[in-house]
Amino acid sequence: MSPLLYKIAKKCLFQLNPETAHTITLAGLRMAERLRILGLIAGTPENDPVELWGLKFPNRVGLAAGMDKEADTIDAFGRLGFGFVEVGTLTPRPQPGNPKPRLFRLIPQEGIINRMGFNNHGIDEGVCNIEKQSTFKGIVGVNIGKNKVTPNDEANHDYLSCLRAAWPVADYIAVNFSSPNTPGLRELQKADSAARLLAVLKAEQSNLVSDTGKKVPLLMKVAPDMEIDQIRELSRVFLDGGLDGLIATNTTLGRGGVERHPRHQEAGGLSGKPLTKRSTEIIQAFAAELGGRIPIIGVGGIMTGDDAVKKLRAGASLVQLYTGFIYKGPNLIGDCVRAMREQSPAAKGGEA
């Protein structure tokens, strides 16, 4: 995409409420894809094929969950060049999320604070939307969560319901138990709770493989707000429980680097450039504990191709974009693919 074209579009969109801008952007992408002009605007997607979990990714750069919550814009994001698209978070039942306003730009710091709260139309509609997508040839991940009204001691039922519903259409399934915007959700990251949840989901995964003949990798997404002791405990849980993959990280409750912004005290998770360093540190810490036995998808503050390379060097096998995509535009996808492809010998070596 022409940098000038995105600069103009961004200037217009940034005059709007962030959530309104998000809705308009997705609608515009879907329209451009239906009219078959999105490819002309976006150009040819970059290739850097990689195989992981038996899945063939066209390139290492994916769209993080939270952008395409309803799974109705997959084809368009694929046309922009993403090698994989993670949709959701989807919950068993529809829910409105938290009261508005709930999304805030911190433009000087290239950050975003959100407290969306898993607003979505429910897993059944999400699955139907995935089935309607027709042109995307990459990998589709389905990010699942629990409903806000479901108590933590019954959360297993929500995750199981979503796992079963998503199974036929998902290439991988990501368990979101680390969002800061559902009260008490991060309690599930405690080692004993995480072990119980993982055991239940792995047992059902095994049943579904037997019933369908299809293997869908199970991933879990962790928060960046952890100390090394918790990272070690969770790593042991993940290794003992047979987790297929890890996504690191979700948004942070920290406000380092944005303290002077008038919106810094808004409740919610912070993403974007202020998270870059911390998310990379968490990836590196988990990679050291996991010893290469569980692949990692790195996400959090990727604003340049060099940021993506640093995630790979820290131990990630793939990366995802969200806030960087908003601030930098679609060209960031190709920048990251090329940077990682050029540095692949060093990146694949996992050096820090």
Residues with active-site annotation: 179
Q: 116: annotated binding-site residue? A: yes
Q: 135: annotated binding-site residue? A: no
Distance between CA atoms of 187 and 217, rounded to whole angstroms? 24
Look-up of token digits 């911190």: 106
Q: 143: annotated binding-site residue? A: yes
**For residue 2, how many other CB atoms are within 10 A of its CB?**
11
Q: Are 143 and 297 in contact (CB under 8 A)?
A: no
Q: 6: annotated binding-site residue? A: no
* Interstrand relation of 111-114 and 269-272 (parallel, antiparallel or unpaired): antiparallel
Q: 305: annotated binding-site residue? A: no
**For residue 349, how many other CB atoms are within 10 A of its CB?**
10
Strands across the sheet containing 269-272: 103-106, 111-114, 269-272
Q: 212: annotated binding-site residue? A: no
Distance between CA atoms of 143 and 66, rounded to whole angstroms? 9
Q: 59: annotated binding-site residue? A: no
Backbone phi, then psi, for 115, in 5-degree steps?
A: -135, 50
Q: 117: annotated binding-site residue? A: yes
Q: 226: annotated binding-site residue? A: no
Q: 249: annotated binding-site residue? A: yes
Q: 65: annotated binding-site residue? A: yes
What would you measure as the largest C-alpha separation in the chain, in angstroms? Answer: 55
Q: 118: annotated binding-site residue? A: yes
Q: 25: annotated binding-site residue? A: no
Q: 69: annotated binding-site residue? A: yes
Tell me whether residue 298 is exposed, middle or buried, using C-beta atoms within 10 angstroms of its C-beta: 0 to 12, 13 to 18, 19 or more: buried
Per DSSP (E only), the strands in 150-281 are 172-176, 218-222, 245-248, 269-272
Across 260-295, b (16+ Cβ under 10 Å) vs e yields ebeebebebbbbbbbbbbbbbebbbbbbbbbeeebb
Q: 166: annotated binding-site residue? A: no
Could you tell me which residues are annotated as the binding site?
65-69, 89, 114-118, 143, 176, 181, 221, 249-251, 272, 301, 322-323
Could you tell me which residues are annotated as the binding site for FMN?
65-69, 89, 143, 176, 221, 249, 272, 301, 322-323
Could you tell me which residues are annotated as the binding site for substrate?
69, 114-118, 176, 181, 250-251
